[in-house]
Amino acid sequence: MLEETRNELLMNVGEGTPMGELMRRYWMPIGAVSEFDDKETRTVRLMGEELVLYKDLSGTFGLVDRHCPHRHADLSYGFVEETGLRCNYHGWLFDEQGDCIGQPYEDTVDPEQKLRAGCSVKAYPVEAKAGLLWAYLGPKPVPLVPNWEPFSWQNGFVQIVFTEIPCNWFQCQENSCDPVHFEWMHANWTTRLKEEGGDYVPTHLEVDFEEFEYGISYKRVREDTDKENPLWTIGRHCLWPNALYTGDHFEWRVPVDDDTTLSVGWFFSRVPNEMEPYVQESIPSWVGPLVDEKTGRWITSHVMNQDFVAWVGQGARSDRTKEHLGRSDRGIAMIRKRFLDDIKAIENGEDPKAIIRDEKVNECVKFPLIGAEMMIDGYPKEMLENTDSPMVRSKRQFIFQAGQPEHVTKAYEAAMGFKTDKGGLTGR
Ligand code: FES
Ligand SMILES: [Fe+2]
């Protein structure tokens, strides 16, 4: 059980709060590069700050304060120029550094442009990586955007999915170090949700947690596995500060504000060897729905939607002073402790966990991965046709979130070499 002060400490990410200062030391995924194929600006709310993300005509991304320093018009209605974003009210122009580089009327009447100097706008660095747009709201020197090994994999179809979840980010991230919930929330609950029912899956017999450089690994032995199994020898990983990596995808839980989290999923589907070489022109992104239109209840059919049900069910801000942790929750306790320790570390001027500043290290940030060989070397197409294993089923349908748009499904099927006319690809 956690006392009230530390409970609050873990959740609040506003500017100037201890956790807010800590989380500002990390790059956060906030959007997708492909979103800007057909738009110029988008509002962003990140750690309580109201911002505008834009791509100017030269292709530079910027993330600036939502309100113009002149008389506070909404810059998300501004328009982009070769360099920068122009306010639509009186035409002031700002670049990605936040500098005011144009004040049309003022520039006309005062060739010395004296007013410009004090009129810069708050601006944060943006970097594109792995099809995602990343933002950094922290102090300088700016660390590197982690170049996680899966970002370098070739011959894969990648898609990015966003969903805004109405609850605090920290309870979402606690789910990243929670092995037992897979058995109940995903496997057994899914069985119960099916009309035809079925047996419960093999239960967990032992779990363990281990901190490593970039996160905390969780390891498990189930009735059907032993300590030779990679689920024990390698495990899965809660990555720092706000991600989960399992097998073929990342999930980030990005703090929008203290009561809202942006779930960002990055999914890699290795194409069969027969479809190589596969080069993806553009990584699609889409927004996954939360609510089942028919019932008005949360969607429960897909893996991450099930997680969302757990997170929001804990309340907008989970009250950790009233919980009852068991032995399966040791990973949760480890996450909390590391964050609380790192709050002190940054107060002492140290870097918190998993900050990467070394270019050499960042060429490819490796962590122990189950099944990486298959992602790298691929597999024969017949593997997708001749078996009904869960692994294959998950390749034939997008199991992680409901609402995949048809154009993404089609692009995926084409990449994988599926023949839709033969059936088997309906129902997502
Ligand atoms: S309010 Fe933006 S230019 Fe006037
Ligand atoms: Fe889950």
Distance CA 75, CA 66 (A): 5
Summarize pLDDT for 351-397 with one digit per residue, the tens.
999 999 999 999 999 999 998 999 999 999 888 876 666 666 677 88
Question: What are the distances in angstroms from CA 323 to CA 162, 215, 326?
Answer: 29, 24, 10
pLDDT the model gives residue 196: 85
Domains of the chain by residue range: 32-135, 149-422
What fold is seen in the domain 32-135? Rieske Iron-sulfur Protein (2.102.10)
**CA 90 to ligand 1: nearest atom:** 3
Q: Which long-range contacts (CB under 8 A, 24 or more apart) does 20-24 make?
A: 20/47, 20/48, 21/138, 21/343, 21/346, 22/241, 22/339, 22/342, 22/343, 22/346, 22/352, 23/47, 23/241, 23/242, 23/255, 24/136, 24/137, 24/138, 24/139
Please give the single-letter amino acid code of residue 76.
S
pTM of this prediction?
A: 0.95
Atom 1 (ligand 1) nearest CA: 71
- Ligand 1: residue whose CA is nearest its atom 3: 90
**Angstrom distance (rounded) from CA 56 to CA 49:** 21
Structure tokens at 233: 């020898």
Residue in the block written with tokens 């059919």: 301
Q: Tell me: the pLDDT tens digits for 304-353? A: 999 999 999 999 999 999 999 999 999 999 999 999 999 999 999 999 99
Distance 73 CA to ligand 1 centre (A): 6
CA distance 6 to 287: 33
Phi/psi-derived region of residue 118, left when phi > 0, alpha when psi is between -120 and 50, beta in every other case: alpha
92 CA: nearest ligand 1 atom: 3
CA of residue 77 to ligand 2 center, whole Å: 38
Instruction: Look at residue 425 in the predicted model and tell me its pLDDT.
Output: 42
Taking 50 as the pLDDT cut, the residues of the chain under it are 422-428
3-state secondary structure of 364: coil
pLDDT value, residue 323 = 95
Task: Kindly give the distance from the C-alpha atom of residue 179 to the centroid of ligand 2, in angstroms, as a whole number.
Answer: 8
**Atom in ligand 1 nearest the alpha carbon of residue 103:** 3
Ligand 1: which residues within 6 Å by Cβ?
A: 68, 70-71, 73, 87, 89-92
The protein residue with its alpha carbon nearest to ligand 1, atom 4, reads 90
| Burial class of residue 342 (count of CB atoms within 10 Å of its CB; 0-12, 13-18, 19+) | buried
What pLDDT is recorded for position 427?
A: 33
pLDDT of residue 382: 86
Backbone angles phi, psi at 347, to 5 degrees: -65, -30
Q: Provide the pLDDT for residue 37.
A: 96
